[in-house]
Chain A
Amino acid sequence: MAFSNDQLQRYSRHIILKEVGAKGQRKLLDGKVLIIGAGGLGAPAALYLAAAGIGEIGICDADEVDLSNLQRQVIHSTNDIGKSKVQSAKESMEAINPEIKVNAIHAWVDSANIMKLIEPYDFIIDGTDNFPAKFLINDACAIAGKAFSHAGIIRFQGQLMTYVPGQGPCYRCIFQNPPPPDAVPTCRQAGVIGAMGGVIGSLQAMEAVKFLLGKGSLLTGQLLTYDALKMEFRKIKLPKRESCPVCGANPTILAPIDYDQAVCEVKQ
């Protein structure tokens, strides 16, 4: 299908790039990305991916927009307070780019729904704020053979890693089990600089775009850490663990698991 003049104009800064071109933009328009969490990480990721013309974007969250979200969750506005985050996100994304399809999924991910949720998508973005969800997403993607971007942010720090089946470790290769509930504070308790979500969530969007284009090197086998106070980015090389119970040679985790969340995180 030929590009309209409007599409050529909208995506001109992509198409001009040698690594993208019309073919690459077509790949983006044909791409499907699922963003789990419409918060600090999901907000910038969703905005950039919508603007980039990712043809179908799922955004999954069961929360409503709260005043305390607005310091970092730039996809939501003051007028959206009380509205479901996925509805608010969908409206912002469609306002930027009406030609993409946004699937607003008003739910928490759990072991019962995650396999079905990720199934239609090419790439998954973990924009969640708790360990049970991170392990759930990792295990589901490893089992289903889906590429995904892991990220976490707290205070002035962020981290990021990309999992591609067969290329480097999964999240569980590195962090074998979730910490005990409440052993580690979430950003609700610990705080986070709003721009941290912008930095790390935008890097997640960049990984999704590169994955769909098939260009460049992804952050596989490496954990990128960002310390904003020291203004330091570090890349830590990490091997795949053959004994990993989900992506190793003899997996024992064959279905996603629900872990308990810290009490203050339990959703109503």
Chain B
Amino acid sequence: MDIEIDESVDITNVVCPVTFVKAKVALEELEEGQVLSIRMNDGEPVQNVPRSIKDEGHKILRLLDNKDGTYSLIVRKAGE
């Protein structure tokens, strides 16, 4: 993969709305322009978390299928 990941967060062990909350908190800790990889379960998280992150103004770069029932959402942090 050609995108450098600065930080990773796993939200497979929590449920809505903490999925998004945990991802949001991880993004807040990054600098503008840095890239976060968010590992999430298939189903509801994949449907909702990317949309919520987009609503916050961040840029979704990729959604990678990990082939184990989880996906990795690659996000570039937007400015405040």
Residues of A within 8 A of B (CB): 3, 5, 8-9, 12-13, 15-16, 18, 21-23
| B58 on the A face (CB < 8 A) | no
User: Contacts of A15 on B, CB cut-off 8 Å?
Assistant: 21, 24-25
The 5 listed contacts between A and B (C-beta, < 8 Å) are A5-B13, A5-B22, A9-B14, A9-B18, A22-B25
User: Contacts of A18 on B, CB cut-off 8 Å?
Assistant: 56
Task: Give A153 to B69 CA distance when docked, in angstroms.
Answer: 57
Q: Which residue of B lies closest to A24 (CB)?
A: B28
Task: Give A12 to B19 CA distance when docked, in angstroms.
Answer: 10
| B71 on the A face (CB < 8 A) | no
* Contact assessment for A23 and B28 in the assembled complex, using a CB-CB cutoff below 8 Å: yes
* Contact assessment for A22 and B29 in the assembled complex, using a CB-CB cutoff below 8 Å: yes
User: Contacts of B20 on A, CB cut-off 8 Å?
Assistant: 16
The CB with the most chain B CB atoms within 10 A, among A3, A5, A8, A21, is that of A8
Q: Which residue of B lies closest to A13 (CB)?
A: B17
- Binding site secondary structure of chain B: helix
* Contact assessment for A21 and B18 in the assembled complex, using a CB-CB cutoff below 8 Å: no
- Binding site secondary structure of chain A: helix
Interface contacts (Cβ under 8 Å), in number, total 33
Residues of B within 8 A of A (CB): 13-14, 17-18, 20-22, 24-25, 28-29, 56
User: Contacts of A22 on B, CB cut-off 8 Å?
Assistant: 24-25, 28-29
User: Contacts of B24 on A, CB cut-off 8 Å?
Assistant: 15-16, 21-22
User: Contacts of B29 on A, CB cut-off 8 Å?
Assistant: 22
* Contact assessment for A12 and B21 in the assembled complex, using a CB-CB cutoff below 8 Å: yes
User: Contacts of A5 on B, CB cut-off 8 Å?
Assistant: 13-14, 18, 22
The CB with the most chain A CB atoms within 10 A, among B13, B18, B24, is that of B18
Nearest-Cβ distance from residue A23 to partner chain B, whole angstroms: 6
Task: Give A173 to B22 CA distance when docked, in angstroms.
Answer: 47
User: Contacts of A3 on B, CB cut-off 8 Å?
Assistant: 25
User: Contacts of B17 on A, CB cut-off 8 Å?
Assistant: 12-13, 16
Task: Give A23 to B30 CA distance when docked, in angstroms.
Answer: 12
User: Contacts of A21 on B, CB cut-off 8 Å?
Assistant: 24-25, 28
Task: Give A22 to B28 CA distance when docked, in angstroms.
Answer: 7
Task: Give A138 to B65 CA distance when docked, in angstroms.
Answer: 61
* Contact assessment for B18 and A8 in the assembled complex, using a CB-CB cutoff below 8 Å: yes
